[in-house]
């Protein structure tokens, strides 16, 4: 009996159109027995990954009769009933193991339009778990030149597709290939990659010709003619000449270049600049380009959202993430910019805008300098960098924090208490309607008339002066706003500020003693009345200052009964009773004794720990919320990245590693869960008590970073940093669990060591086995040494 092999049977029937197309594909696009991921990295940065020329070469080869878009397969038009028609019903699981190495060929514009049409039910240009679309799309594969299609399912994959196509559209791409693994990427890896490759880059600014138009733009400029404007310190004539030349060469920018006066800057002068707000110049360096010397701005990162300038403590927090990602030069440039601000503006500014000239921010410069130095100490200029930044920090310490009005002589502690006049111009005056309106009505004036008169100094109202004194202090503290500080901020010697100054004192002592042989010479530009006569600093003075500050904090701020530090009211001469997460800053700074740290972990930590990490303050301290007493964003139930970062560092410093890991896991889980469910969102702050949608914050300023179209491009600076730093301190098992979006409760239950079922005999047997094993190892070691 003969056997006919089907593959060898020859027929002469006419080929179908599909068969003809298959022959065309085999002739022009030979398939290889290897995955495309073997030749091209599916997780490359977007500017390298989306390469249209590569697609054209693969699809068209030498034949150019067709365009690439003719190969893209578009999904069918959606029907009103998502459960019927072209789309399969949504289902809970989908096995894509056999499709792991697929690459998709996608028409960017058409696919974005189709995705938004059927998936984005609330029309906010995002695809989230709150949208009730089919969460399914069919797209052509690259291997078949768009002939065959494959399915993509699930909210995470579909929203990632929208994000990737939006990024490709930003680059001007019409047709792209996307590897399926890029859409199914482990969410922890995806967010880490986007922070490293995209977010940091998009947050970068520089005050030179290339970026000054972008950096000079101020979303908080409420004047009738907002335009780029830069103020140059009197001691920087080269910069003034540089920006003047830029303005001449690019008149369409309308750059306004102005001098700042020589000498001290008064509150009256700052107030009078409010009609012409502008950005303040930062450090520049000289470079040789094509044999010509030019000025180049030292770059910096901005927080994100509407905050488009160089901020104080935001930049420190961002530097932690930048250093983890190896972006040392950026962190170094920001420290140099801080030193420039201290030299020319007298302080590290709230931010480098003209209306912030009287206002500082929480001081972190010494710790920032030490962290950067650890990365550059092998470089030739490493020690000179450390010296330069330390001198700047010493000047800031003397002239800002140990000088009136911020220094309180009675307590020996420091306060946030900036100078200033009028209504804070970076906030719309309407924000203060409820405060100002009664005073305007009393004088028979409209709200706008009263604000103009009050800002100009023609209307005097001591009660309003007191209100805005405290309001400016709240903003200088960085904790704007909170019922902890409302109406009293300028009078409080806060735990956070004095912990940071204790850290300054101990850091400076260590730097002088360790790196400068206990004798640090202070150059003229950083000298103050405190060191101008001697011209140098030694460590003993700074050690003594640190001991004195700790003693004062222990006496005036520490509450032994509740195991917590509280702010001290320098006017009422008493501790406050507001329970704030800033108590853990004393641990981060090393100001707490081991006994005090243990008390905080035992008594205070349970009061602040919530589903998503640490809450800023307790619900009891915040009090009742009503229409007349709304939420404040630095109170319960909100959590912020700086509070998490400093608490983790403090816990680790005192040996409470498990607690630090638990808190870091909770915060990172909350961030990554929102990232997965809500179209890649990364925002300024979170509601740490809210499991489903923690990024939805109901407070006076909303939430920066949540308002985007298609894809977030920046995240938010210090949350980016908290995610990167948090991952760096977690063990690998926790990182893997985060990648599978495992809640802390589940992870803890599955990994906890349980001894409930062990009796004493079983434990004794285990102990004997361990002892026997140790004895065997010792005997084996002795034999090995004899041999």
* DSSP 8-state secondary structure symbol assigned to residue 717: H
Extract the tokens encoding 394: 């010493």
CB atoms closer than 10 angstroms to residue 36 = 16
Cα–Cα distance, 724 to 731 (Å, whole number)? 13
Q: How far apart are CA 313 and CA 303, in angstroms?
A: 10
How far apart, in whole angstroms, are the C-alpha atoms of residue 599 and residue 618? 17
Phi, psi of 135 (to 5 degrees): 55, 45
| 399 and 345 Cβ atoms separated by less than 8 Å | no
The answer to whether 503 touches 590, Cβ cutoff 8 Å, is yes
Q: Do residues 120 and 78 make contact, with C-beta atoms less than 8 angstroms apart?
A: no
Q: Is 480 designated active site?
A: yes
Give me 319's structure tokens: 């530097």
What is the DSSP code string of 515-548?
A: HSTT-EEPPGGG--TTTTTT-EE-HHHHHHHHHH
Which residues is 98 bridged to in the sheet?
none
Catalytic site residue from 114, 471, 537, 684: 684
| Catalytic (active site) residue 51 | no
Contact 716, 706 (CB under 8 A): no
Separation between Cα atoms, residue 158 and residue 174, nearest integer Å: 19
CA distance 779 to 773: 10
582: three-class secondary structure by DSSP = helix
Quickly list DSSP for 758-785. Answer: --HHHHHHHHHHHHHHHHHHHHHHHHHH
Which of 370, 414, 396 minimizes the C-alpha distance to 548?
414
How far is it, in rounded angstroms, from Cα 506 to Cα 637? 34
* 311 token code pair: 């901020």
Beta strand ranges found along 448-573 (DSSP E): 492-493, 520-521, 536-537, 558-559, 564-565, 568-569
What tokens were used for 256? 């306004």
CB 670 within 8 A of CB 651: no
CB 595 within 8 A of CB 614: no
CB contact at 8 A, 634 and 481: yes
Which candidate in 208, 396, 426, 480 is catalytic? Answer: 480
Active site residues per annotation: 480, 684
């Amino acid at each position: 009996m003969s056997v006919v092999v089907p593959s060898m049977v020859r027929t002469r029937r006419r080929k179908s159109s599909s068969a003809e197309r298959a022959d065309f594909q085999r002739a022009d696009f030979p398939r290889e027995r290897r995955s495309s991921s073997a030749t091209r990295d599916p997780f490359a940065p977007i500017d390298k990954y989306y390469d249209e020329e590569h697609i054209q070469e693969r699809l068209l080869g030498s034949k150019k009769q067709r365009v690439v878009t003719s190969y893209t397969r578009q999904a069918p038009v959606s029907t009103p009933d998502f459960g019927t028609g072209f789309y399969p019903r949504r289902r809970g699981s989908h096995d894509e193991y056999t499709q792991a190495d697929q690459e998709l060929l996608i028409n960017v514009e058409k696919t974005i339009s189709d995705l938004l049409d059927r998936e984005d039910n609330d029309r906010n240009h995002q695809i989230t778990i709150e949208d009730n679309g089919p969460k399914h799309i069919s797209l052509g594969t690259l291997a078949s030149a768009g002939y065959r299609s494959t399915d993509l399912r699930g909210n995470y994959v579909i929203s990632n597709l929208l994000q990737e196509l939006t990024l490709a559209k930003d680059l001007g791409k019409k047709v792209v290939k996307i590897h399926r693994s890029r859409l199914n990427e482990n969410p922890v890896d995806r967010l880490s990659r986007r922070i490293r490759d995209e977010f940091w880059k998009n947050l970068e600014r520089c005050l030179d010709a290339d970026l000054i138009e972008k950096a000079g733009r101020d979303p908080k400029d409420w004047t009738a003619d907002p335009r780029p404007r830069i103020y140059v310190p009197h001691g920087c004539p080269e910069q003034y000449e540089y920006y003047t030349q830029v303005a001449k060469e690019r008149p369409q920018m309308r750059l306004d270049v102005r001098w700042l006066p020589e000498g001290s800057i008064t509150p009256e002068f700052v107030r009078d600049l409010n009609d012409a707000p502008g950005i303040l110049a930062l450090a520049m360096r000289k470079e040789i380009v094509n044999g010509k010397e030019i000025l180049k701005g030292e770059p910096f990162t901005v927080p994100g959202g509407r905050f488009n300038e160089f901020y104080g403590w935001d930049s420190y927090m961002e530097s932690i993430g930048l250093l983890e990602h190896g972006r040392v030069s950026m962190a170094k440039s920001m420290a140099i910019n801080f030193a420039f601000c201290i030299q020319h503006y007298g302080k590290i500014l709230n931010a480098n805008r003209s209306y912030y000239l009287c206002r500082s921010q929480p001081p972190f410069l010494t710790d920032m300098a030490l962290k950067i130095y650890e990365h550059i100490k092998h470089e030739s200029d490493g020690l000179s960098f450390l010296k330069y930044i330390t001198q700047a920090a010493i000047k800031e310490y003397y002239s800002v924090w140990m000088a009136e009005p911020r220094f309180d002589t009675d307590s020996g502690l420091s306060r946030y208490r900036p100078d200033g006049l009028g209504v804070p111009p970076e906030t719309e005056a309407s924000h203060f309607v409820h405060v100002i309106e009664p005073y305007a009505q009393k004088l028979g004036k409209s709200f706008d008339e009263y604000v103009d008169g009050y800002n100009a100094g023609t209307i005097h109202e001591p009660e309003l002066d007191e209100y805005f004194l405290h309001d400016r202090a709240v903003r200088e503290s960085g904790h704007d706003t909170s019922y902890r500080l409302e109406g009293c901020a300028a009078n409080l010697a806060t735990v956070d500020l004095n912990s940071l100054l204790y850290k300054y004192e101990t850091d400076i002592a260590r730097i002088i003693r360790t790196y400068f042989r206990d004798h640090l010479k202070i150059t003229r530009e950083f000298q103050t009345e405190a060191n101008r006569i001697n011209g140098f600093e030694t460590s003993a003075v700074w050690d003594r200052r640190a001991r004195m500050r700790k003693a004062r904090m222990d006496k005036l701020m520490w509450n032994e009964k509740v195991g917590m530090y509280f702010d001290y009211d320098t006017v009422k001469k008493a501790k406050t009773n507001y329970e704030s997460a800033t108590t853990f800053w004393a641990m981060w700074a090393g100001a707490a004794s081991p006994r005090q740290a243990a008390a905080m972990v035992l008594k205070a930590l349970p009061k602040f720990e919530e589903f998503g990490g640490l809450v800023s303050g307790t619900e009891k301290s915040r009090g009742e919320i009503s229409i007349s007493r709304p939420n404040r964003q630095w109170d319960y139930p909100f959590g912020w990245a700086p509070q998490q970062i400093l608490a983790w560092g403090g816990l680790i410093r005192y040996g409470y590693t498990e607690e630090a890991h638990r808190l870091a896991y909770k915060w990172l889980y909350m961030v990554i869960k929102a990232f997965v469910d809500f179209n890649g969102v990364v925002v300024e702050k979170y509601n740490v008590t809210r499991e489903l949608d923690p990024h939805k914050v109901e407070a006076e300023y909303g939430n920066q970073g949540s308002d985007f179209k298609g894809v977030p491009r920046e995240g938010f600076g210090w949350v980016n940093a908290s995610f990167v730093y948090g991952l760096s301190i977690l063990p690998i098992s926790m990182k893997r669990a985060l990648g599978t979006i495992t809640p802390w409760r589940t992870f803890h239950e599955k990994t906890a060591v349980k001894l409930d079922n062990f009796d004493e005999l079983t434990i004794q047997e285990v102990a004997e086995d361990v002892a026997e094993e140790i004895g065997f190892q010792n005997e084996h070691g002795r034999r090995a040494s004899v041999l």
